[in-house]
Amino acid sequence: MKKETSLIIRKYRSTYLGELGTTTSHQHGALVLLIGLSGRIRLHFQGGPSIDCYSALIDAGVAHSLDPQGERIATIYSEVSSPETLLLRSLYLQSQPYAFDVIKPSIFLHRSEQKILNFDLISMLGLNRLDSLPSLDSRVVRCIELLNTPAYFSAGQIAIAEQVQLSASRLNHLFKQGTGVSYRRYRLWSQLAFFMRNVKCTNNLTESALNSGFFDASHLSNSYRKLFGISPAGLLKGLDHFEVDLN
């Protein structure tokens, strides 16, 4: 019996569960945890190694391509400002922007796939350090809030910088330093995140592309490939279950 392909979008985390083809090189605007649920997956990093592993934790903004090698996978995106991301970056990604086999698929053997979609990563890794959590600069936090507000999708960087009382160059520096990803790439990520939430309502790529600040469906598709390595139409068409819950 074929298992479902699922995508669950929540406020600070999105999870894809299913089979996926080989991606082109891309750079996410969020920290991502990739897990080969049925076997090893292969990752290639631009200018770096090719690695076979059961799981990989990859920082935002890191160019890589994925070959699932026919395995069923879980792909978990954690937003750059979330407590989960700040903790994982401080513990695993200080010396290099990726870490391998931080979690083994055997952990999931006795869990239903519904539980995989909702699992508590921090507890599963045995981490209890939220009390000493690193923090983001409050101006970066405010910038992220603005970039995730549709009314600001068309605002220029200088206007956003003025809103948080910084110069554009200083904002670039603080944003990259605090989140691991450039201001420009995160801005695109925030628009694509809005698109994914919006298309659940419209079921129309072109309409949601325009709603998300893209010129047309082609502009959306090109941007999507840069950040995900696949086309949005291909991903959405293959979904059996698609859920958005921002509460």
Cβ(25)–Cβ(68) below 8 Å: no
Calculate the alpha carbon distances from 227 to 30, 78, 110, 167 in Å: 10, 14, 33, 26
Full pLDDT tens readout for the chain, 247 residues:
568 899 999 989 999 999 999 999 999 999 999 999 888 999 999 888 899 999 999 999 999 999 999 999 999 999 999 988 988 898 899 899 999 998 766 666 555 566 666 666 666 666 665 556 678 999 999 999 999 998 898 899 999 999 999 999 999 999 999 999 999 999 999 999 999 999 999 999 999 999 999 999 999 999 999 999 999 999 999 999 999 998 7
3-state secondary structure 187-221: HHHHHHHHHHHHHHHHCCHHHHHHHCCCCCHHHHH
Give per-residue pLDDT as tens, 117-136.
666 666 666 666 555 667 89
Matching residue, tokens 């076997």:
39
How much is the pTM?
0.91
Query: In the prediction, which pLDDT does 111 show?
Result: 56
CB neighbours of 96 closer than 8 A, spacing ≥ 6?
none
Q: Please give the full DSSP string across 7-27, using - where no structure is assigned.
A: EEEESSEEEEEE---PPPSB-
Backbone angles phi, psi at 151, to 5 degrees: -60, -20
Give which of 108, 129, 141 is closest to 37, Cα–Cα: 108
- Measured CA to CA, the distance from residue 245 to residue 247 in angstroms comes to 6
DSSP 34: E
